[in-house]
Amino acid sequence: MNDFWTPLRRTTPARIGLGRAGNGVSTRALLEAGAAHALARDAVHRALDHAALVGELAALGAVHVASAAPDRATYLTRPDLGRRPDPDVPLPRSAGPVDLAVVLADGLSATAVHRHAVPLLRSLLAALPPGTTVGPPVVATQARVALGDHVGRALDAAMVLVLIGERPGLSSADSLGAYLTWSPRPGIADSARNCVSNIRPPHGLSYAAAARTLAGLMAGARELGTTGVRLKDLGPGRELGPGRELGPGRELGPGRELGG
């Protein structure tokens, strides 16, 4: 039966206007919420099949690394260990400096990484300017975003991009985030990163749209020598800062900083 909430429900996966049964929600709504919660828990605890991902990216020279967290239970209770590499396993090295290092990290949803990381990476590589050098993809387990700083430094990369499973919600257990950091090094602040989130077609951002946004941010980062709070993407043709824009065929203009 149509009601006030019906057209609104078509615009969002959020649970709005739930029906009631007496003083509680309907049985259907209760069961759907329980199923969504189970999917979210599974996404958090699921182990990343790093061997399958390395095999899928073998042509690009992909390798596997692990964080200092020895298992999933430790990873969930000790975020600090997920930010550091396993001290007993050497990080990969490149033959020389590269423009970009890419890390595929399980984060809090291995489901998101399995579904979206490789297609997004392929779309991004096709969107990068000719001549862009990319290090071997690194598949990281029990990993937080900051682990990419160690990988980026080891590969002598100008930038590091971490594709990581985001914290699941009750409407999205497979959302992928992409974190871009200029001049990666251990100890860098989170404010020095740019994030593109909710990459999960068809319900979130598409691979093509995410790749265009990331390629634009990388172009801005190269121009300005920074990422984070000084680098903003507000969409094609919209101003990033006073007199400066980021987008195909547009100039950032004089000055080296974005924002006020």
Distance CA 140, CA 152 (A): 13
Is domain 50-233 in CATH 3.40.190.10, yes or no? no
Token pair, residue 73, equals 């239970």
Q: Kindly list the averaged pLDDT for each block of 10 residues, start to end, along the chain of length 260.
A: 75 78 83 85 88 95 96 95 94 90 96 96 95 96 97 96 91 91 95 95 93 94 92 59 38 30
Residues in the chain: 260
The side-by-side arrangement of strands in the sheet containing 63-66 is: 63-66, 138-141, 98-105, 157-165, 176-182, 193-199
The pLDDT of residue 138 is 97
The pLDDT of residue 144 is 97
The pLDDT of residue 242 is 36
Q: What is the pTM of this model?
A: 0.83
Distances (CA, A) of 54 to 31, 59, 120: 37, 9, 15
Q: Give Cα 32 to chain centroid, integer Å.
A: 27
Neighbours of 88 (CB within 10 A): 7
Token pair, residue 77, equals 């209770």
The pLDDT of residue 259 is 28
Distance CA 193, CA 25 (A): 41
The pLDDT of residue 29 is 82
